[in-house]
Structure 1
Amino acid sequence: MLNIEKNTLFVKEQAKAFGFDHCGIAQAAELTGDAFRLENWLHKGMHGGMKYMENYFDKRIDPRKLVDGAKSVITLLLNYYPSQFQQPGAPKVAKYAYGNDYHEIIKERLNSFLQVLRSKLGDIQGRGFVDSAPVLERSWAQRSGLGWIGKNGNLLHKQAGSFFFIATLIVDVPFLYDAPTGDYCGSCTRCLEACPTGALVSPSVVDGSKCISYFTIELKEQLIPGSMQGKFEDWFFGCDICQDVCPWNRFAKAHRDEAFRPIPEILNFSTSDWEALTEEEFKNIFKKSPLKRSKYAGIRRNLKFIETKNSGKG
């Protein structure tokens, strides 16, 4: 037991050393409740065109099928709340995309983190994941005591809100496990009421096929459905509405991570700057940005869609 206690403390100390803001650990097991909810969500088609969500169902609900002999799931939160924001009136970009692509940055940190753990704990087996693998990150964060799933579907931390990247490290060694926290949303329904497209169909259930982030990032067709016209509130890459209205985010503090320093153009571009942007300039300025997921054509499509809404105001 003494070694487990020391090893658990070492994990949490190293998490802090690598710049992660919070760390929780849960025992690896099958997520039976989540399996039922995920199956129901998929059956109702709430994943829209995100067909990849149908893949690797067994691995999504059981980390032991991702890492042989897995005993622990380490969850790490990394704050991305910015200290500076876009200029008023400009097409809006979700705050997580202000800086460089988090996938590459966090994956590199996870790999280094795992190497440090191996140097201390021996030849442990493990894999790190961040958002791009069949892992139910929010469920594991909840199980490891880092917060609860809010009515907007985001993980909410009682002292820090929801503007966090979630990373997961699955390993084959045991630790002391953290206890889940309670749900502190209470009777608040601000996020449900604020969503302009009706994507929050019920508490903690997000119809992804109606989400602004889905339309502006995941949807690969050329046209956004006309039924969504006038509902994007100038968001053209992602959306933060349900987070911005959440009372728990009054506790959000600006990060100090240089790796996620905002790209100047995102903060400073006006509507006319975005309109004048050429494909070559886009590829150069945003080569390390999450915006490259939508590609230049997607950005132009999204910009045109919200401009059409604005032109009809008069």
Structure 2
Amino acid sequence: MNSLSNQIKTAALRMGYEKCGIIKIADMADYEGKLKERSEHVPEAKAFDEKFQRFAYLQKTYPWAKSVVVCVRQYGKYKVPEHLQGRIGKYYLFDSRRDKHSRDFQDSLKFEAYLKELGLKTETERKFGITALRWAAFKAGLGLTRRNNFFYTESGSWLHLEAWLIDQELEAIETPALKACPENCNRCVKSCPTASLSQPHIMNPLACVSFLTTFGGRDLPNDKYNAQIGCWLFGCDVCQDVCPMNKNRWQAKEEFPALSELSSHISPEKILTMDYSFLEEKVQPKFWYIDKQDVWKWKVNAINAMVNDYQEHYKEYILKACYDSNEKVREMAAWAIKKLELSA
């Protein structure tokens, strides 16, 4: 490792990252093969996968780029609001990618500023990543991708990954010392609610509960997976929660900024009676996978969760939703009433 690589890695660790590695941009080329492999097993996701082929050939978009700096940060250190366990995926609860109040976000800005102070030209994309983050971290030897498709270090899979392109050819690659998945373990595959994870390392992103409760699931009354979504309102943690390699890895020591106050407003009942202005101004900026114009999706997801874990007091909320201002919510409420055989 040359001195500049070492400086970058040392700075990343100083700014709160668990690991940092650097790979040559050419090392991303074989990511295309991974996409093709998935498309062969899950042909319905081929069009979805094609959007990510650009990650394998970054120099077509960034001809100046020579290396990828990839960093790993733990989020398995925060306290999870108990009433949101099994409701909202923990990755989204502690998402710091756009949260300016988060120390993690501020550290990310400081690290990028440091790269520029070193005289490096840089580029990143904080929402979804400048490249295939798990593949880049794997190529840098920072850990491994387990059978549930999540990236793991010694801290488990409760991680955020970030990457920057830089204009110098550098390298800082580790040799991971992690044990492989237990030979006969398939808990993640067996536990996947929608069988999106059909076999180790192979999943259908269009059937994943995290997709269905955010970008997808736009016609939940007729969606074949509506029952399998269960009580999830946004995201899913099942395949990570059941993984033995995550056992005892979550160390809840810190409060995530402003989460306690916001989380007090989130439950299926509260969402169904929530003003759209509150959803747009308070909830959406935190859980931004659902766009502002689509915040009705929260209410649809709430009704679906109520149906899948019906309790008698849900009835009044579902009946009231028949008069919601959004047509999609009214349709979902009518579907729930018919399915549950509720009467006014």
Residue 56 and residue 183 in structure 1: after superposition, are their counterparts in 2 closer, same or farther (change >3 A)? Answer: same
CA distance in 1, matches of 2:258, 2:91: 11
Which residues in structure 2 correspond to 1:139-154 (within 5 Å)? Answer: 139-154=135-150
Structure 1, residues 82-121: CA drift from partner, whole Å, max 9, x if none?
A: 532233487701112224652465777555423322323x
Which residues in structure 2 correspond to 1:213-228 (within 5 Å)? Answer: 213-219=210-216, 221-223=218-220, 225-228=222-225
CA distance in 2, matches of 1:291, 1:111: 20
Paired residue secondary structure (2:20): strand
Structure 2's unaligned 5+ residue stretches are 311-338
Q: How many residues align?
A: 304
Letter in 2 for 1:171: I
Query: Aligned residue for 1:243?
Result: 240
Residue 102 and residue 88 in structure 1: after superposition, are their counterparts in 2 closer, same or farther (change >3 A)? Answer: same
Q: Which moved more, 1:227-236 or 1:295-304?
A: 227-236
Contact 1:26 1:143 in 2 (8 A): yes
Query: Aligned residue for 1:15?
Result: 12
1:286 Cα offset (Å) = 1.7
Query: Aligned residue for 2:155?
Result: 160
Contact 1:87 1:268 in 2 (8 A): no
Letter in 1 for 2:26: A
Query: Aligned residue for 2:282?
Result: 285
Identity of aligned residues (%): 19
Structure 1, residues 123-165: CA drift from partner, whole Å, max 9, x if none?
A: x2221234525611111100111111111111011x1001111
Structure 1, residues 175-215: CA drift from partner, whole Å, max 9, x if none?
A: 34214536611322111111111011111111111100110
Paired residue secondary structure (1:92): coil
Contact 1:68 1:172 in 2 (8 A): no
Higher CA-based Rg: 2
Residue 33 and residue 162 in structure 1: after superposition, are their counterparts in 2 closer, same or farther (change >3 A)? Answer: same
Query: Aligned residue for 2:112?
Result: 114
Residue 292 and residue 175 in structure 1: after superposition, are their counterparts in 2 closer, same or farther (change >3 A)? Answer: closer
Which residues in structure 2 correspond to 1:191-202 (within 5 Å)? Answer: 191-202=188-199
Q: So what's the TM-score if we normalise by structure 1?
A: 0.83
Which residues in structure 2 correspond to 1:1-314 (within 5 Å)? Answer: 5-42=2-39, 44-47=42-45, 53-55=49-51, 57=53, 59-88=54-83, 92-99=87-94, 102-103=97-98, 105=100, 110=108, 112-120=110-118, 122=119, 124-133=120-129, 135-157=131-153, 159-181=154-176, 184-187=180-183, 188-219=185-216, 221-223=218-220, 225-249=222-246, 250-254=248-252, 256=254, 262-266=259-263, 269-291=266-288, 293=290, 295-311=294-310
Cα-Cα RMSD: 3.0
1:275 Cα offset (Å) = 2.7
Residue 284 and residue 176 in structure 1: after superposition, are their counterparts in 2 closer, same or farther (change >3 A)? Answer: closer
Contact 2:214 2:289 in 1 (8 A): no
Contact 1:26 1:74 in 2 (8 A): yes
Paired residue secondary structure (2:63): coil
Structure 1, residues 189-242: CA drift from partner, whole Å, max 9, x if none?
A: 111111111011111111111100110011162336442132123111000111
Paired residue secondary structure (1:116): helix
Q: Which moved more, 1:93-102 or 1:185-194?
A: 93-102
Paired residue secondary structure (2:195): coil
Structure 1's unaligned 5+ residue stretches are none
CA distance in 1, matches of 2:241, 2:59: 36
Residue 245 and residue 61 in structure 1: after superposition, are their counterparts in 2 closer, same or farther (change >3 A)? Answer: same
Residue 111 and residue 91 in structure 1: after superposition, are their counterparts in 2 closer, same or farther (change >3 A)? Answer: closer
CA distance in 1, matches of 2:196, 2:43: 13
Contact 1:148 1:183 in 2 (8 A): no
CA distance in 1, matches of 2:302, 2:156: 29
Which structure is richer in relative contact order (CA contacts within 8 A, separation 6 or more)? 1
CA distance in 2, matches of 1:161, 1:248: 6
Paired residue secondary structure (1:23): strand
CA distance in 1, matches of 2:174, 2:309: 48
